[in-house]
A and B are shown apart, each in its own frame.
Chain A
Amino acid sequence: MDSRRRKAYWICQITGWSVYAVVNVVFASFFRTLSWEAALPNLMLGALGLGLTHLYRNYVRRKGWVRLPLRRMIPRVLLASVGIALVMTTVMLVVFVSVFGVVAPEEFRFGVALIMLFNLSATMLLWSLIYFGLHYFWNYQRAEVERWKLESAVKDAELRALKAQINPHFLFNSLNSVRALIVEDPERAQQAVTRLAGLLRHTLRSSERATTSLEEELNAVRAYLELEAVRLEERLRYEIDADAAALRAPVPAMLVQTLVENGIKHGVATRTEGGELRVTARMNGAALRLRVENTGTLGAEASPDAVGMRNARERLRLLFGAGAALTLTGADGKVVAEVVIPLEDRP
């Protein structure tokens, strides 16, 4: 607990019980003339209340009552309040009788005790109400702030996922190439703009729905590769080869695109001599088998893209079940990403 709250607690305790004692003294003075003898028991009562409620509060804190559900907390609080009131009543009666020697008829003393017990129970309940009420309010506020933080974190993550779908480096480099082409080869510049628009449209649409047909995905991949070829020129050599039967199969939107982008990034763009990339799609029984193959060695892309690969795997599993798989293997100067999507129970 922070010191600010501890301070607030002590201020409330001391002020509360002082006011309680003073009010009692004032009331007593209506019946009897004000004297030390009449005031002292009431001041004692205040001090006793302060002490007992402090012990009560320490116990409540240690047992974590504040976090209990209401139906378990209310009986405990009721019992504790009456219990404390009982202790206070007993102590006060013993003090009255033995120290001050106040004598009263037996039955009258019993009546006074009952009234006192009732009053003190009410006082203790009020104390509990304030104590637990304040804690509820604080916890509620904190929970609200936590919820708000969580919400913004989720939004942030979603946004980042969307942004990650098109590599900004690629986007700006492409725009730069287009700018150069406008002077050099206006016709190719026009083609490039159209392809960029197609790719952006596919990317935006993919944020709205989870899967797309392989045909649409490959169209976007083709547009992407053509744009990369404008940029990388003769350094990029690529091929796309898909069965007609495979084209209608559903795939996670942007999955092939992500794999191809990775292949270019690690297998072509970072190599002075460039490289090759090959995409194949085949129906294998009731499963779609996708391969993205590029020049390069696995070491360079396995670790930095671990997160990307894990995300892609997770998406595949969520969309197509445990039968879907994504593997990344490297051999003979080639890296192969292979995706298997089971399609039995799909139209």
Chain B
Amino acid sequence: MKALIIDDERLARNELRRLLRAHPEIAVVGEAANADEAEAAVERLRPDLLFLDVQMPGRSGFDLLAALDPVPAVIFTTAYDQYALRAFEVSALDYLVKPIEPARLAAAVEKVLAHPPAAPSSGARLTADDRVFVKDGDRCWFVRLGDVRLFESEGNYTRLYFGREKPLVYRSLSYLEDRLDPKTFFRANRKHILNLKRITSIDAWFGGGLRARLEDGTEIELSRRQAQKFRERMSL
């Protein structure tokens, strides 16, 4: 498993690298000292796992994750602010406090190896199994795209609907349309992308359009042109 170490302190990176020598399953493929370097390194090296310091100069570890899609597995490393991590809606992430105890590191590594993230779909489309990190204000989520039922355009932003949450992310709907796997995600009209697996029923609608009903009861109209495409897609 390829890992990237992200920490602004050289000594902290060295220390972690040294501790990871006890885990030959983890290959440290690179290091980054801030979010900008890290973003480039993720693009270039496609790591499966990030060891990520939360507090860094410039953008924080959270900001970095929000800029990545898909997000690899993440183990946070932090000196003291483990409280910040409790703000998470999803507890499916691990953190290590510095100085790192070898036993805690071993447990965290084992956990990641037991549940490896879906192999990142190398620059192609994001599938339902890919995870993204969503940050809206102080709240953060790790979301499996398959759990998102609806994407709604709000200018340059897009609102994601999953569970009872609907955070806003800084991505345009057209950008998402290009990135999302069309087998699962369908552009219904100018404002919406639907998760096809979350549709419960489809009705005929005025002027040759269609109306899709999602599992939470939301009704979304498909424009005539998109309805045509939808019919073609569904009729094999």
Asked if B99 and A175 sit within 8 Å, CB to CB, the answer is yes
Q: Is the CB of B99 within 8 A of A232?
A: no
Contact B57 A172 (CB under 8 A): no
Query: CB-CB < 8 A to A176: which residues of B?
Result: 9, 11-12, 15, 79, 98-100
Within 8 A of B (CB), among A259-298: 269-272, 274
Most buried by B among A179, A180, A274: A180
Cα separation A171 to B97 with both chains bound (whole Å): 12
Contact with A along B154-173 (1 / 0, CB 8 A): 00000000000000000000
Whether, in the assembled complex, B233 has its beta carbon less than 8 Å from a beta carbon of chain A, the answer is no
B11 pairs with A184, CB closer than 8 A: yes
The answer, yes or no, to whether B136 is at the interface (CB within 8 Å) is no
Q: How far is the CA of A203 from the CA of B89 in the complex (A)?
A: 38
* CA–CA, A274 and B34, complex, Å: 12
Residues of B within 8 A of A179 (CB): 15, 99
Is the CB–CB distance between B14 and A270 below 8 Å? no
Contacts of A232 in B (CB 8 A): 9
Q: What are the interface flags for A163-180 relative to B under an 8 Å C-beta threshold, 1 for contact and 0 otherwise?
A: 000001101110111011
Q: How far is the CA of A168 from the CA of B57 in the complex (A)?
A: 18
Q: Say which residue of A169, A171, A173, A269 sits within 8 Å of B57 (CB atoms).
A: A269
CA distance A233 to B57 in the complex (A): 14
Q: Which residues of A lie under 8 Å from residue B189 when comparing CB positions? A: none
Instruction: Return chain A residues, CB-CB under 8 Å to B100.
Output: 176
Known contacts A179-B99, A269-B57; A173/B12 CB under 8 A: yes
Residues of the B chain whose Cβ atoms lie less than 8 Å from the Cβ of A230: 11
A183 interface residue (CB < 8 Å to B): yes
Contact status A172-B18, CB under 8 Å: no
Contact partner, A168, options B36, B55, B80, Cβ 8 Å: B80
* B88-132 interface bits toward A, Cβ cutoff 8 Å, 1 = contact, 0 = none: 000000000111100000000000000000000000000000000
> Is A80 engaged at the interface, CB distance under 8 Å to the other chain?
no
Mark out the residues of chain B between 1 and 27 whose CB falls within 8 Å of any chain A CB in the assembled complex. Answer: 9-12, 14-15, 18
Do B99 and A169 touch (CB < 8 A)?
Answer: no
In-complex Cβ contact of B58 among A175, A181, A270 (8 A): A270
Q: In the complex, which residue of chain A has the Cβ closest to the Cβ of B97?
A: A172
**B81 at interface by CB-CB < 8 Å:** yes
Task: Report A186 CB to chain B, min CB distance, Å.
Answer: 14
Q: Which of A171, A180, A272 contacts B14 (CB 8 A)?
A: A180
CA distance A235 to B11 in the complex (A): 13
A173 lies within 8 A of B98 (CB) = yes
> Is A173 a contact of B81 with CB atoms below 8 Å?
no
CA distance A177 to B11 in the complex (A): 6
Is the pair B15, A180 in contact by a Cβ cutoff of 8 Å? yes
Residues of B within 8 A of A233 (CB): 9-10
Chain B interface secondary structure, helix, strand, loop or mixed? loop
Q: Known: A172-B99, A175-B99, A183-B18. Contact between A271 and B57, CB under 8 A? A: yes
In whole angstroms, how far apart are the Cα atoms of A23 and B38 in the complex?
91
Does A334 belong to the interface (CB within 8 Å)?
A: no
Closest to B36 in A: A272
Interface 0/1 of A135-171, CB less than 8 Å to B: 0000000000000000000000000000000001101
> Does A231 touch B at the CB level, under 8 Å?
yes
Please indicate the chain B residues that have their CB under 8 angstroms from the CB of A171 in the complex: 80
Judge whether A180 and B12 touch: CB under 8 Å.
yes
Contact B79 A173 (CB under 8 A): yes
Residues of B within 8 A of A173 (CB): 9, 12, 79, 98
Min CB distance, B85 to chain A, in Å? 14
Q: Are A272 and B55 in contact (CB under 8 A)?
A: no
Contact indicator A180/B11 (Cβ below 8 Å)? yes
> Are B14 and A184 within 8 A (Cβ)?
yes
User: With A and B bound together, what is the CA distance between A270 and B60 in angstroms?
Assistant: 10
CA distance A107 to B79 in the complex (A): 95
CA distance A233 to B98 in the complex (A): 18
Given A169-B81, A231-B11, are A180 and B57 also a contact pair (CB < 8 Å)? no
Which residues of the other chain, A, contact B98 by a CB distance below 8 angstroms?
172-173, 175-176
Interface residues of A in 38-68 (CB under 8 A from B): none
Most chain B CB atoms below 10 A, which of A176, A184, A269: A176
Chain B hits for A181, CB < 8 A: 11
| CB-defined A-B contacts under 8 Å, sample of 29 | A168-B80, A169-B55, A169-B79, A171-B80, A172-B80, A172-B99, A173-B9, A173-B12, A175-B98, A176-B9, A176-B99, A176-B100, A177-B9, A179-B15, A179-B99, A180-B11, A180-B15, A181-B11, A184-B11, A231-B9, A233-B10, A270-B57, A270-B58, A271-B57, A271-B58, A272-B34, A272-B36, A272-B57, A272-B58
Q: Which B residues are closer than 8 A to A by beta carbons? A: 9-12, 14-15, 18, 33-34, 36, 55, 57-58, 79-81, 97-100
A residues at B contact (CB < 8 Å): 168-169, 171-173, 175-177, 179-181, 183-184, 230-233, 235, 269-272, 274
Q: A169-B79, A177-B12 are in contact. List 17 more A-B contacts (CB 8 A).
A: A168-B80, A169-B81, A172-B79, A172-B98, A173-B12, A173-B98, A175-B99, A176-B9, A176-B11, A180-B11, A180-B12, A184-B11, A230-B11, A235-B57, A269-B57, A272-B36, A274-B57
Pairs of residues from A and B, 4 with the lowest C-beta to C-beta distance, nearest first: A180-B15, A180-B11, A172-B79, A176-B98
